[in-house]
Amino acid sequence: MSAATVTPPGTADARIPLRGHLRHTGALIRRNLLWIRQDPESMFDALLMPIVFTLLFVYVFGGSIGQALGGGQDGYVQYVIPGMIAMMSMTLSQGVGTGFSQDFNSGVMDRFRSLPIGRGSVLFAKISVELTRMLFATAVLMIVAVLVGFHITSWTGLLGAVALSTVFASSIMWVFLTLGVVLKSAQSVQAMGFLVLFPLQFGSSIFAPTQSMPGWLQHFTDYNPLSTLADAARGLMVGGPVAHDLWITLGWSVAITAVMAPIAIHKFRTKS
């Protein structure tokens, strides 16, 4: 694009039709995928995390927690794998914020904001690529899960659980995009993400039932969206109640997106 076509950042979105936004988003998605192709090490977390976490929790905690569940290690595999799909949706969402911050510090975002492209296109492209990484990690997780004894009782339920996790992950990514714009470094985004992720993941029903937790922690898990996501995925994949946790998870996803997406776009447009 030539300098003569450059539009001031504050008015770019208003002058671009929907087709233009979609074209810009597609071009930026291709740019991000090519970057991953040139830097395959950036996929190591999506490849290794599901392998390491599955083996760790199944073989270190599976025996004791499985006995409490009444099914031994095999029973724990059926319990924890749907929860780990929920965990992947949260953990890998952090990458969108750290990558966004790195793009700002490298000057890439300054280049994007000087061009007549929709500001939202940059954000939607980033989310799309990170969701692709998450789906890749989920595929790796399921391969390892089958190898350690997980039984897929319903392919429809599995696809439903993955779809629900994808919807929830896309909402959480708006939170990390906001952090990527507001905070000054990728390390700060990573540190803040850890402070958010750690209590949400372990204060939930992802890795163990909540009945043995203290009362105050059980109250926290009742309102923790990762618990409802894990329980909904569990119901879809291995059987059990689904509707209540499904609707709560969707409600959380809509609410988080409705609040955080406008904030992220506004902060991106106005960042100096």
Q: Does any domain span residue 7?
A: no
pLDDT reported for residue 158: 95
- The whole domain housing 142 covers 16-270
CA distance 113 to 227: 38
Q: What's the structural domain count of the chain?
A: 1
What sign does the CA torsion over 123, 126, 129, 132 have?
negative
Any idea what DSSP says for residue 59?
I
Asked if pLDDT for residue 206 goes beyond 50, the answer is yes
pTM: predicted TM-score of the whole model, two decimal places:
0.86
Question: What average pLDDT score do residues 193-203 get?
Answer: 87
Position 148 scores a pLDDT of: 94
Instruction: Flag whether pLDDT at 259 surpasses 70.
Output: yes
- 105 inside domain: yes
- The DSSP code for 132 is H
Is residue 170 a contact partner of residue 127, using CB atoms and an 8 Å limit? yes
Instruction: Quickly state the pLDDT bin for 12 (edges 50, 70, 90).
Output: low
Residue 77 lies in a domain: yes
* Tokens 């990170």, residue located: 130
**Residue 54 within any structural domain of the chain:** yes
Average pLDDT over residues 79-96: 89
The DSSP annotation for 166-224 comes to HHHHHHHHHHHHHHHHHSSSHHHHHHHHHHHHHHHHHSSSSSS-STTS-HHHHHHHHT-
Which position has the higher pLDDT, 148 or 31? 148
pLDDT in tens, 106-120: 777 767 766 667 667
How far is Cα 76 from Cα 236, in angstroms, rounded to an integer? 16
Q: Which two tokens stand for residue 208?
A: 């163990």
Please state, rounded to an integer, the average pLDDT across all residues of the chain: 85
**183: in domain:** yes
